[in-house]
Amino acid sequence: MNQKKLLMYNIYLFELLLFLIAFSSCSDISTNKIFLKDSTDITHKAAASNAYTYVIFNADQNSYGYDILEHNRILIHQRNVPGQPGNKGFSTKEDAEKVAQLVLSKLNNKIMPPSINRKELDSLNINFYQQKNNAK
């Protein structure tokens, strides 16, 4: 009798685990929206007829980053200047916005992957150099 109860208990736990996995995979980006709403000084832009949008957010070390969303789900989370060494974000919100718009343009034109190179950063006048350390 104990083996039967143990088997039923294991089946119950397995079904519960499957339910939790299925439920979590169907969740919306609402938790990410809460995180983004808590960030100060964010910008959210959408192309009128396209599924892609972007959000500018405050990143580490007084810098900015961007999220690219497809149908309100995060597709790309970019905290640093793409294609550059280190983990420093954009020095201005405008720089992050220019690069996010370029990525959107690539996605809308089906350019995959929508990677950004140094030449493109230069053409957008993005300051991607690491700031010099004041302490020596």
What pLDDT is stored for residue 61 in this prediction? 87
Could you tell me which of 76, 71, 83 has the C-alpha nearest to residue 126?
83
Q: Identify whether the C-beta of residue 100 lies closer than 8 Å to the C-beta of residue 42.
A: no
What pLDDT is stored for residue 43 in this prediction? 52
DSSP-derived secondary structure letter, 50 = -
- String of DSSP letters for 55-69: EEEEETTTEEEEEEE
What pLDDT is stored for residue 44 in this prediction? 53
What is the residue-level pLDDT of the chain in tens, covering all 136 positions?
677 777 776 676 666 555 555 544 444 433 333 334 444 445 555 544 568 999 999 998 899 999 999 999 999 999 999 988 888 999 999 999 999 999 999 999 999 999 999 999 999 999 865 543 433 3
Q: Which amino acid is at 14?
A: F
Give the bridge partners for 76, in sequence order. 68
Q: Identify whether the C-beta of residue 102 lies closer than 8 Å to the C-beta of residue 120.
A: yes
In our burial notation (b when 16+ CB lie closer than 10 A, e otherwise), range 60-98 reads: eeebbbbbbbeeeeebbebbbbbebeeebbbbebebbbb
Q: What are the residue boundaries of the structural domains of the chain, listed by start?
A: 30-123
